[in-house]
Amino acid sequence: MTESGDSKAKGRKRTRANGEGSIFPYRNGWGAYVWVITPSGEKTKKWAYGKSREEVHEKYVRLQHEARQGPVTTKVPTLNARAAYWLKEVVIEPNYAPLAIVTYETYLRLYILPYLGAKRLDKLTVRDVREWTNKLRAACQCCAQGRDARRPVEHWNPKRRQHCCAVGRCCGQRLSEATAQKAVKILRSLLSNAITEEVITKNVATALRLPTLRRRKGKAWSVDEARLFLESARNEVDPLYAVYVLILVLGLRKGEVLGLDWKYVDLDAGELYVGEQLQRVRNRLLRRAVKTDDSEAPLPLPGICLAALKLRKQQQDRDRGEAAERWQETGLVFTSPLGKAMDPTKFNGRFDARVAKAGVRRITVHGTRGTCATLLAALNVHPRVAMRILRHSNVKMTMEVYTDATDEATGEALRRLGGALDSFT
């Protein structure tokens, strides 16, 4: 090297340390790499490319910053690949309930991956997510999912044969806002897990602003309507009479009451535990434990509930005797005449039929929970006992509900209903 060359080399200030990386001309632009440590502990290069040196230099500086902060992922999967991993390794039992797993799979398959699946996670932007949600809200789901094409051309029921997209008439079946927002929340959950596992550094779905959902709150039954409904079931010896009593008076959910096992019922002490729930998942009936603080404490049984459960035990003993060797023992309180579990999806139809027979205002099964507090007041259940049943944190909340008093005649009629069987009173 010449003397002038030596002096230039000595005077040149070094801008990068050993192993830091490099920026260089590459094809029709520029390229750069930085040495990083991957989440698996491997030391390797991470590359960046651009049309100008300034553009690549910015990426190079960001990569250096990431490398100093901690492990850096060098191979970022597409949303399709990450979703497959997430469902296989993360969204599994016992971390998630079976019904939640099926819901995540369904939403990803129908509403998320067809639109965003090919995107690499680090290339996914807030704009991509916003455009996806707009398309999701605007798209006819019958067309998007090819539902009509799978229907037969001929069928006696017009709704079961091809009648819209497949014959050139779009039915305009749009998603509800609640469903669209649930899809966004599932995408957020998936991306949050990718951040936790250091695959990406930013969750673009959290930046999306969602409109406030305004849910229509159904009006619960009055005490008179509930009494008429229960009297109808009791007078016609409806085998589900005790179910109706428990969902109305104790506020039990459908899955909780249909999953009630006799081992959680103490007729002598007048108590029951909410220990299990029954769900239909992938065409199978599953019983799973209810893991909540509420399930740890017994619920006291008002007289009408105790009488209904004793009646139910008599009915089941009679069914067991008639079925003989065909009886399938499940331990459940509410079963078919052969001892099988009752399907929660078919229960709604039986409830609706009983509502029609009783001649009362139609509400959903879940809507009966709102009637619970007024019924307890009508039955003269002590506020402290009602507080346990309603799962209130303090008796003041219970007393606010109890201020809506019921006339004595209606309350007395309801109490008589509970003691209708002389042998149980």
Q: What is the pLDDT of residue 78?
A: 93
Q: What spatial distance separates the first Cα and last Cα of the chain, rounded to whole Å?
A: 112
Q: Is 80 exceeded by the pLDDT of residue 86?
A: yes
Q: Is 90 exceeded by the pLDDT of residue 214?
A: no
At 313, is the pLDDT very low, low, confident or very high (cuts 50, 70, 90)? very high
Cis peptide leading into 344, omega within 30 of 0? no
How far apart are alpha carbons 392 and 291 in whole angstroms? 18
3-class DSSP state for residue 191? helix
**Average pLDDT of the segment spanning 148-165:** 82
**8 A C-beta contact, residue 209 and residue 349:** no
Partnered with residue 393 across adjacent β-strands are none
How far apart are alpha carbons 347 and 56 in whole angstroms? 63
At 212, is the pLDDT very low, low, confident or very high (cuts 50, 70, 90)? confident
Q: Tell me the domain boundaries of the chain.
A: 21-74, 79-139+174-207, 223-424
Q: Is 50 exceeded by the pLDDT of residue 8?
A: no
How far apart are alpha carbons 341 and 345 in whole angstroms? 12
| Strand pairing report for 276-281 and 284-289 | antiparallel
**Average pLDDT of the segment spanning 215-236:** 84
Q: What is the pLDDT of residue 87?
A: 93
Q: Is 80 exceeded by the pLDDT of residue 412?
A: no
Q: How far is CA 136 from CA 111, 130, 318, in A?
A: 7, 10, 53
How far apart are alpha carbons 321 and 48 in whole angstroms? 77
**Do 79-139+174-207 and 223-424 come out as alike in CATH topology?**
no
- Cβ neighbours of 336 (radius 10 Å): 15
**8 A C-beta contact, residue 342 and residue 334:** yes
**DSSP, res 339:** S
Judged by average pLDDT, the poorest of 60-74, 357-371, 390-404, 406-420 is: 406-420
Q: Single out the residue of 258, 261, 287 nearest to residue 346, CA to CA.
A: 258
How far apart are alpha carbons 240 and 333 in whole angstroms? 11
Q: Is 60 exceeded by the pLDDT of residue 123?
A: yes
Q: Single out the residue of 248, 247, 246, 274 nearest to residue 260, CA to CA.
A: 274
Q: Which range among 220-224, 319-323, 367-371, 414-418 has the greatest average pLDDT?
A: 319-323
**Average pLDDT of the segment spanning 128-137:** 93
The pLDDT mean for the chain works out to 82
**Matching CATH number, 79-139+174-207, of 1.10.220.10, 1.10.150.130, 3.40.50.150, 1.25.40.10:** 1.10.150.130
pTM, entire model: 0.67
**Average pLDDT of the segment spanning 329-358:** 92
**Matching CATH number, 223-424, of 3.20.20.70, 3.40.50.300, 1.10.443.10, 3.10.50.40:** 1.10.443.10
Q: Which residue has the higher pLDDT, 248 or 379?
A: 248
Q: Single out the residue of 85, 97, 117 nearest to residue 282, CA to CA.
A: 97
At 242, is the pLDDT very low, low, confident or very high (cuts 50, 70, 90)? very high
Angle between the 126-138 and 177-196 helix axes, to the nearest 10 degrees? Answer: 150
Q: Which residue has the higher pLDDT, 169 or 56?
A: 56
Q: Is 60 exceeded by the pLDDT of residue 20?
A: no
**8 A C-beta contact, residue 71 and residue 39:** yes
**8 A C-beta contact, residue 272 and residue 260:** yes
Q: What is the pLDDT of residue 410?
A: 53
44: phi then psi, degrees, rounded to nearest 5: -155, 175
Q: Is 90 exceeded by the pLDDT of residue 319?
A: yes
